[in-house]
Structures are given as structure tokens and as C-alpha cells.
Structure 1
């Protein structure tokens, strides 16, 4: 069945483009930024270690080729090693420590009905963003009374990010569809939209997500990595033993975001 929900939000806060949003939307926006920061730091930590290890290894090769009695050459090699060690220490003490908050994600498990969660999330995005941008949201639900054992607030945040991005990446007058179903053992949600790069990056349009995150989401994804803005979605899904998937996005073409979570979610071992 297809349902839709309406409502109003209180406690307005300014978004990045100056229009008012609810306190909940403002909090979710800040949380999304936090997960983005930690995701980027994780990529930096991972991607820097490879070159640093290579530099360290080649320093040993270089040392064997140099004259052991040449103090300048030996001092140069020692300087290379010292620089590598300092960079690794910075990664461990600053980068890795900073992202520790989301690396081990604590979840508050409890059973809850799924349909109210979807209605509330659709209403939040519709009220605080979609109507202002002239984008229609449709909830296509095949759920009835299904419940999920998991962290309701974390899953709501993941859905909010997915739906908000789809709305911001849609042109005025476009439609975004959230399709959801439950099958034995798992809950599936897919958000479909037509990607519009101009709408996503138009500074004159209302936006909730950070400008740099929107811009990065339109760039080619290396090794099928997710866009930074979906870091919260991926982390929450995996913490529940599920998965998050982002389709390739081409301007003017259909795109999807998909979340799958076991109905009896447990933290992966």
C-alpha cells in the first residue's frame, strides 16, 4: 500500500542556507556531519599508511646502497625514517583517536514497530525540506505490524540521511519514493530518485546537508566507496549486522539508496 504523512515541526533552527528547520533536523544534520568527519579521517588513516610503509621500506633499501661511512647519507636516511615514524604516530594519536567515537558504535537494542518509524521520518523530511524545495515524497510500504529489534533512533537517523540526500539531489517538481518491505529475517528499504546535479549543488536552493558533502557525493567513487555523506548510514547498518548500498549516480538518471537490517538485529562479532 502507499501511504503519506503530514505534520508540523517545532523548535526551529537555521539550516546552512538560512531557512528554519526543526530541532530534530538540526540535531540529525550535526550527527551526519560527525559521522562524515570520522569517515574521512578513517580514509585518511587507511590511505596514508600504505605510502608511509612503502617509504619506510625503501629507506632500508636505500640505506644498503649508500656508503655506510658517509655521515650525510646516513643522516638523510635517518631523517626519512624519523619523518615516517612521526607521521604514523600522528595517525595513531590524532586521527585514530578522534574517530573513536563512531568507530565503536553503542546501540540501544529494543523491539519497535517499523511503520511508525517510517511515517515519522518521512514527515520530518517532508516538513523541514521537501515542501520548501517542491519535491514530493511517496512512502510505498508493504509493512503491516512487523517489528525490529534494534536501535530505533540510530536507524531513524540513517533513513533521514538517505531521504534528505535524495530530496536535495532532486529537481523542483520531482518525486522521491521510499519503498519498504519485510521478508523472513530482514527489513529492506530502498529510496529511489532521479539525480539532478544542479539541484544538489544550487546554492540558492534550501539545503540541510553540508555543501562540501554534496559536492563530494557527485564525484566518481574510488573502488566503489560510498559518498562521505552516507557514513552514518553505512555505520549504523553494519552495527546492526546489516548493509547499506549506494548505486552509481549519473546526472539525469535514476539512482537508489538501499538499507537492509535483520529483524532480530545483533551486533556483528
Structure 2
């Protein structure tokens, strides 16, 4: 892990302005899309907390990104466990006193050969606990840190499979849980409107990750749209985007 990012000291004089040092949390950041999102945020000089269920894998990911301008820190986080979510929120409060960016990326359960009639209900429950309730847990725990400073960017990594304008019989657990995530995104955005906290969902498209398989677009391209939403300067909230362009829910 590299040395902590330096914060410029306050100096006398009306023209002296200390830049705001942004702190970001990316869930599921030890590999694939989350890892690339963390890398791109680190390139922008942010302190990035790499959430990982397996701390050893998180530490390995952080070491791989230690050369970036931003500080890379592995944190243990299983978003299906309320105790871990609450512990991390307390640690961020004590250590930084703020959280500026939250990327809810942790997920899975993409099973193309399943269908609604035959699928075991257990994986569907797990998909909901991760994509919907896991995101819900993290947002509820972390949003007070954003309210402190009247600034926040919450990005929920979704999928076109969760759009009501699409249809298909495969991947039912994935489709239904991502559709639920989209609904939660709109609901949360409505609650936080005017607070300085922007909430959006992003579809990264089909990317060549372990989950997506070969043949997809480069991971960096899928991650770029997520990072765009994480670094928004315009007051865009409550939307569904792909590559910075709004798409239908």
C-alpha cells in the first residue's frame, strides 16, 4: 500500500484554497469491473476504499494499484452482513469524517441457462440480498457521511437486463434483482434530491469480466461510464445511464 495521500495545509491569505480531497468506497473492488473503477478513481487522486469480502484479495488488489496518485486502501466488506457495513461506516467516520463517492458494484448471479420456472429460489433470494438489500444497507449506512458536507455521488451498478423495456426468460434472478435495484435507485434519488447527493444507476454494458465472459467490451470502457457518474459536476440525479447517455428504465 502506498503512503497516505497528502493534504495541503491551510495557508494565510484570501487566495489560498485547500482542495477538497475526495474519499470513495467501491464495493466488490478486488477484481473485474470494481477493480477497474477503483483504478480510474485512483488516477483522479481520490482515496479509494476497496471493499472486498476476502481481505487477502482486497489487499492484493490494493497493492496492484499502489502506484496511482490516490491512496488505495483495502477494507473488508460483505454487503450482505449488516455488522460489517456498520463497522466500516464507523471506521470511515473516525478516519476521514467524510465519504464523497459510493459505487455499489458488488454483485453476481448471472446465470444465462436458468429460467423463471425451473430456477431454484435460493439463488434468487441471494441475488436480491446482494443487489437490492446489500446496496440498501450500504447506502443507509454511508449517506450520513455525505450529508455532513452536502456532497455525494452514489452510483448503483445495474444492467440493461433490469430495464422494464427489455424482456427475456434467461437470468431471472439477475433480471429481477437488478430491476428492484433500479426502483430503489429512483426512490433514493427522490429522497435525497436537493441535498447535494446525486444518485444514479449505470449499466456498464456487456464487459469481458469473469462474470460476463469473453467477447464483451474492454473492462475499462464499461468502468468509464461508472466513473463518469461518480464524478458528476452537473446536478443529474435519478437517472439510468450507459456511457454517459441516459437510457430507459
TM surpasses 0.5: no
Bigger radius of gyration, 1 or 2? 1
Higher relative contact order (CA 8 A, sep 6+): 1
Choose between structure 1 and 2: higher helix proportion. Answer: 1
Report the TM range for the smaller structure's normalisation.
under 0.3
Choose between structure 1 and 2: higher strand proportion. Answer: 1
Give me the TM-score of the superposition, normalised by structure 2: 0.27
